[in-house]
Amino acid sequence: MADTTTPEAKLALIYANLAESLNPEIIDDVVKKQDRPLKIYWGTATTGRPHCGYFVPMLKIAQFLQAGCHVKILLADIHAFLDNLKAPIELVNYRAKYYKLVITESLKAVNVPVDRLEFVLGSEYQKSPDYMMDLLRLSTMTTEHDAKRAGAEVVKQTDNPLLSGLIYPLMQALDEQYLDVDVQFGGVDQRKIFALAKEALPKLGYKERAHLMNKMVPGLQGDKMSSSDPDSKIDLLDGPELVKKKLKKAFAEPKKVEGNGLLSFIEYVLMPAGVLEGGKPIFTVERREGEPLVYHDVQKLHDDYKADILTPQLLKSGVTDAINKLLAPIQKAFAASPEWQEIEKTAYPPPVAEDKKKVKKVKNKGTKYPGGAKNVEAQPDGSVEGQGKQEVSVGTSVEDAMNKLELAKEGVEA
């Protein structure tokens, strides 16, 4: 366990393994001069199912906590359906609960003390008169071009974008003020939103915040992990056989390190997880012949891969074993919780299976989510398509939408 008694040690943990930081002087002032816990928030829109890529921010959050920071996790339920209706308003209730459960168990899986975390639901404060007035004020100061540019790497892009996608980055900027934090943390794909927040908040009379960014881990096919592409990522509830099957299909060009999502996952998840478990980074690959390959640093891992000592087949086998070990406690907790299982079914209803025997008459059976038999179908990214999509996604009236955002406090609050 690293020494966290000095400001220098705390700052070393806060900045470790980051891709970039903006306004670090704000962080330094809080830690060195104000001598108080740094307040940080990390937000996630409750859309598709969380996947193994979430371990990257989880491990960084572990370091923030180790450095004595106060960390807030924003379950951004309103953001979820603003992003091209990825999460229907009828389902954000259940998805927020699902996210809290899966994030909590993911943190426990890498030995993070969850009692020192604060979960905040976006709709708890984003519907307030002050917040909405500030959002309108900010909209008078932000051009369509700047709003679209800010969300370019985060909000789903289309040829004819919805206005909601332009509101999304403005709200993310305001969240820094209303969550009362010093820092917002996220991936480098959030950089343009962070830049907007740096410029926007002082225009409203609020102080500028610092921003910390972690690197993005490539997906199994070499691109960004995506909830809409099941083959690009490992779901946190994927069983051992499914993990093995997906990793067999993973892209891993022999002797080439660049663009290899498996090597990146080892560097940013599996090795840091080893630090939390045993005090040092480690990744082990069992071999049928010879001693296991044991790695304590990324350079040796890369060197062996380039030399074909660590072959793509061995790499996939080692990562499969390590991921299954990492996911085991999460899946054990899921199996032991009927409540979580019910929430999962409701939050992510399966698509309706067609009745092949009765092809002449198509029955509108709907899906199992709340709201009844509307002819919509769940998609891999968590959105829905089909007749009735609009009603499911945004509600039938203001009162309807507001009611569906009123979550049971005992189910979501920390």
3-class secondary structure per residue, the chain: CCCCCCHHHHHHHHHCCCCEEECHHHHHHHHHHHCCCCEEEEEEECCCCCEHHHHHHHHHHHHHHHCCCEEEEEEEHHHHHHCCCCCCCCCHHHHHHHHHHHHHHHHHHCCCCHHHEEEEEHHHCCCCHHHHHHHHHHHCCCCHHHHHHHCCCCCCCCCCCCCHHHHHHHHHHHHHHHCCCCEEEEEHHHHHHHHHHHHHHHHCCCCCCEEEEECCCECCCCCECCCCCHHHCCECCCCHHHHHHHHHCCCCCCCCCCCCHHHHHHHHHHHHHHHHHHCCCCEEECCCCCCCEEECCHHHHHHHHHCCCCCHHHHHHHHHHHHHHHHHHHHHHHHCCHHHHHHHHHHCCCCCCCCCCCCCCCCCCCCCCCCCCCCEEECCCCCEEECCHHHHHHCCCHHHHHHHHCCCHHHHCC
Instruction: Among 347, 368, 396, identify where a domain stops.
Output: 347
Overall average pLDDT of the 373-390 stretch: 60
Above pLDDT 90, what percent of the chain? 58
- Does the pLDDT of residue 148 top 70, yes or no? yes
At 208-245, the pLDDT tens digits run: 999 999 988 887 776 555 555 666 789 999 999 999 99
Domain match, 82 and 33 both: yes
Domain match, 168 and 244 both: no
The whole-number pLDDT of residue 1 equals 46
Q: How many CB atoms lie under 10 A from the CB of residue 169?
A: 30
Average pLDDT, the chain: 85
Domain match, 115 and 256 both: no
Overall average pLDDT of the 382-402 stretch: 64
Highest mean pLDDT among 3-12, 71-80, 275-284, 364-373: 71-80
Domain match, 312 and 273 both: yes
At 5-24, the pLDDT tens digits run: 799 999 999 998 899 999 99
In a domain, 189, yes or no: yes
Supply the CATH number for residue 330's domain.
Answer: 1.10.240.10
The whole-number pLDDT of residue 414 equals 47
Domain match, 178 and 247 both: no
Supply the CATH number for residue 61's domain.
Answer: 3.40.50.620
Cα 114 from Cα 30, distance rounded (Å): 23
Above pLDDT 70, what percent of the chain? 80
Instruction: Among 328, 347, 366, identify where a domain stops.
Output: 347
Domain match, 131 and 253 both: no
Highest mean pLDDT among 104-108, 206-210, 243-247: 206-210
Q: Identify the domain containing residue 179 by its residue range.
A: 7-214
- 296 — pLDDT class (breaks 50, 70, 90): very high
Domain match, 103 and 142 both: yes
Domain match, 194 and 343 both: no
The whole-number pLDDT of residue 190 equals 94
- Does the pLDDT of residue 193 top 80, yes or no? yes
Instruction: Among 332, 347, 362, identify where a domain stops.
Output: 347
- Does the pLDDT of residue 330 top 70, yes or no? yes
In a domain, 377, yes or no: no
- 364 — pLDDT class (breaks 50, 70, 90): very low
The whole-number pLDDT of residue 220 equals 79
The whole-number pLDDT of residue 370 equals 58
Total domains, the chain:
2
Overall average pLDDT of the 367-377 stretch: 55
- Does the pLDDT of residue 410 top 60, yes or no? no
Cα 255 from Cα 307, distance rounded (Å): 6
Residue 68's region, left for phi above 0, alpha for psi from -120 to 50, else beta, is left
Domain match, 202 and 266 both: no
Which is more confidently placed, 404 or 2?
Answer: 404
Which is more confidently placed, 379 or 5?
Answer: 5
Highest mean pLDDT among 148-162, 263-277, 376-390: 263-277
In a domain, 186, yes or no: yes
Domain match, 97 and 46 both: yes
In a domain, 233, yes or no: no
Domain match, 201 and 260 both: no
Highest mean pLDDT among 87-91, 177-181, 390-394: 177-181
Least confident among 43-47, 54-58, 156-160, 406-410: 406-410
pTM: 0.83
The whole-number pLDDT of residue 146 equals 93
In a domain, 140, yes or no: yes
In a domain, 369, yes or no: no
- 408 — pLDDT class (breaks 50, 70, 90): very low
In a domain, 364, yes or no: no
Domain match, 280 and 181 both: no
In a domain, 322, yes or no: yes
